[in-house]
Amino acid sequence: MIRTDVLILGGGLSGLSTAYHLGERAGRSCLVVDKSPVIGGTAGSVRREGFVFDHTGHLLHLHDPYGKRLVATLLRGNLAWLARSSWIHSQGVDTRYPFQANTFGLPAAVVEECVAGFLKTVHWPAPPATGSFRDWCLAQFGEGISRRFMFPYNEKVWRRSLREITTDWQGPFVPKPAAGEVIRGALMDQAQAFGYNAAFSYPIRGGIQSLPESLARSLAGGRLRLGARVASVDLAARVAVVEGVGEVGFGRLVNTMPLPHFLDLARPLPAGVLEARRNLRHNSVYCLNIGIARPRVSDKHWIYFPEKGFAFYRAGFLSNFSRHVAPAGASSMYIEAARRPSEKVELPRLERLFLEGLRACGILRRSDRIVARHWAPIEYGYVVYDRDRTAALKTVFAFLRKAKVESIGRYGAWKYSFMEEALLDGKRCAERLSSGGRSRAQGLARGA
Ligand SMILES: Cc1cc2nc3c(=O)[nH]c(=O)nc-3n(C[C@H](O)[C@H](O)[C@H](O)COP(=O)(O)OP(=O)(O)OC[C@H]3O[C@@H](n4cnc5c(N)ncnc54)[C@H](O)[C@@H]3O)c2cc1C
């Protein structure tokens, strides 16, 4: 049996960030294990026929000063800053994101319905934090905007009634414009930046995987084991069984694997935790990446598709993030649909529907040649924020604290979060673990 002070389950951004921030100077041994033969988890990339594809669009939205400094340090010169060009396709036209502030160009009756509905809400009281996402949309944006965009788009992503979805995930993700902005956006094409992701950055070369790769470069000396699936975790004996590695004895444990999956592998678990685990729900995302033998099939970054007639909720143009992810003279795209885990998915059928939809809205031409394709099914795509989630997490995390297990990252903490947060989760976790020793986080914070 091998022994390590800190065992990190999962080599995505949060696991790698934990190891990076623990650093060598913290005086503790650590080992990162991941079942995949490649690092990066959801922020990984694949290469096909000269294209670099991600697992759907993965753009860096950097808001935290430390997060910005860290990414700039890690990607040193390999980072482009871009001003977002995101749109919504509905009623046969493209309007700017966010829909609630940009109805210009839609049929007059739709514009009127959206603006009049919004204006009615201006003097309404703030919606209760405990209500459903559906009620929150109606109170925030009114009938028109809700029915034309908020409901159909979010139903495509969450795959269930919005009455079941709570409001505690959306925070900065669903911006509310002022009444003047809604009116101006109905009268003219306003190119004003709204929301959390008005500007973003993306690696110039190597796709998003260059970020986890840069973190992994710090893990010398066998501290990262790939193709190493965790088979079981004995929390009492403090021993994990990892395929290809064997038994690993650990002092502290950091989980970044999807929380329900971790709970399925861990023992012993009290009955209350087993019951709570059944209340953790998620959706899967099916992402089709395609390479097209035509330059610049679009000048946009991505487009949302709320209408039922399209089998996907979003399509993006990866080769507009960086020209180095597609061969000269070609373009690349990602197209996304969500499904409940229980739904049967036939990829060839979905691919046909995706391509038909892209032709129907004029993005693809009949004459276009698809020269590369790659399916990226993301089993754990979106954590479902339903009414059971908060209570279930409370029970699970009370238990994990006692068992001295850190469970972090988008799926370990079971939340809706982005890459910067995964990096920061890892930093904060390393700080909690490295009491006494000087971690890399402290070094970088002091400019070392
Ligand atoms: C559709 C979609 C679009 C997104 N777009 C963006 C975006 O534009 N910008 C942004 O900032 N963020 C985006 N994100 C979020 C981003 O992907 C995550 O925040 C981040 O990658 C999470 O990293 P993580 O380390 O927490 O989890 P993960 O990357 O999922 O890492 C978990 C790791 O655990 C490993 N694992 C699982 N089971 C086992 C096992 N039994 N044994 C060993 N290893 C195991 C997995 O292989 C994986 O590597 C998006 C996510 C999705 C799903």
The amino acid sitting at 159 is R
The number of residues in the chain equals 448
* Confidence at residue 218, expressed as pLDDT on a 0 to 100 scale: 86
Q: For 96-129, what is each residue's pLDDT tens digit?
A: 999 999 999 999 999 999 999 999 998 887 777 7
Q: For 408-446, what is each residue's pLDDT tens digit?
A: 999 999 999 999 999 999 999 999 998 754 555 555 444
- Ligand 1 pocket test target in 64, 257, 408, 414 with most atoms within 8 Å of CB: 257
Strand locations in 257-301 (E): 266-267, 282-292
Residue 144's pLDDT band, with cuts at 50, 70 and 90, is: very high
* Confidence at residue 425, expressed as pLDDT on a 0 to 100 scale: 98
Residue of 77, 146, 160, 74 whose CA lies nearest to 113: 146
Residue 76's pLDDT band, with cuts at 50, 70 and 90, is: very high
**Residue 372 half-sphere exposure, CB side, CA atoms within 13 Å?**
21
Residue of 231, 256, 234 whose CA lies nearest to 246: 231
C-alpha angle with apex 103: 99 to 105, nearest 5 degrees?
130
Ligand 1 atom nearest the C-alpha of 336 is: 1
Pairing of strands 2-9, 30-33: parallel
- Ligand 1 pocket test target in 410, 414, 424, 429 with most atoms within 8 Å of CB: 410
- Examine the pLDDT at 271 and tell me if it is beyond 90: yes
Q: For 357-386, what is each residue's pLDDT tens digit?
A: 999 999 999 999 999 999 999 999 999 999
Average of per-residue pLDDT across 313-335: 98
Q: For 215-249, what is each residue's pLDDT tens digit?
A: 999 887 789 999 999 999 999 999 999 999 999 99
Average of per-residue pLDDT across 290-296: 98
The amino acid sitting at 218 is S
* Confidence at residue 440, expressed as pLDDT on a 0 to 100 scale: 59
Pocket of ligand 1 (CB under 6 A): 9-15, 33-36, 41-43, 56-61, 229-230, 256-257, 261, 285, 378, 381, 409-411, 417-419, 422
- Examine the pLDDT at 447 and tell me if it is beyond 50: no
Expressed in angstroms and rounded, the spacing between residue 350 Cα and the centre of ligand 1 is 23
- Examine the pLDDT at 310 and tell me if it is beyond 90: yes
Q: Which fold has domain 45-84+197-207+282-383?
A: Polyamine Oxidase; Chain A, domain 2 (3.90.660)
- Examine the pLDDT at 17 and tell me if it is beyond 90: yes
* Confidence at residue 64, expressed as pLDDT on a 0 to 100 scale: 96
Structure-token pair, residue 223: 């501290």
The overall average pLDDT reported for the chain is 93
* Confidence at residue 67, expressed as pLDDT on a 0 to 100 scale: 98
Average of per-residue pLDDT across 155-169: 94
* Confidence at residue 448, expressed as pLDDT on a 0 to 100 scale: 33
Expressed in angstroms and rounded, the spacing between residue 43 Cα and the centre of ligand 1 is 6
Alpha carbon distance 351, 406 (integer Å): 39
Q: For 34-72, what is each residue's pLDDT tens digit?
A: 999 999 999 999 999 999 999 999 999 999 999 999 999
* Confidence at residue 435, expressed as pLDDT on a 0 to 100 scale: 73
Question: C-alpha distances in angstroms, 288 versus 152, 179, 208, 347, 405?
Answer: 21, 38, 16, 9, 36
Q: Which fold has domain 2-41+209-279+386-445?
A: FAD/NAD(P)-binding domain (3.50.50)
- Using a pLDDT cut of 90, give the percent of the chain over it: 87
* Confidence at residue 222, expressed as pLDDT on a 0 to 100 scale: 80
**Residue 35 half-sphere exposure, CB side, CA atoms within 13 Å?**
11
* Confidence at residue 195, expressed as pLDDT on a 0 to 100 scale: 66
Q: For 382-399, what is each residue's pLDDT tens digit?
A: 999 999 999 999 999 999
Pairing of strands 86-90, 93-96: antiparallel
Alpha carbon distance 57, 202 (integer Å): 10
* Confidence at residue 127, expressed as pLDDT on a 0 to 100 scale: 72
C-alpha angle with apex 207: 204 to 154, nearest 5 degrees?
115
Question: C-alpha distances in angstroms, 362 versus 12, 92, 94, 271, 405?
Answer: 36, 10, 11, 54, 51
Question: What predicted TM-score, i.e. pTM, was given to this entire model?
Answer: 0.94
Alpha carbon distance 101, 114 (integer Å): 10
Q: DSSP assignment, residue 234?
A: E
* Confidence at residue 333, expressed as pLDDT on a 0 to 100 scale: 98
Ligand 1 atom nearest the C-alpha of 419 is: 11
Domain borders along the chain are: 2-41+209-279+386-445, 45-84+197-207+282-383, 99-178
Alpha carbon distance 431, 438 (integer Å): 9
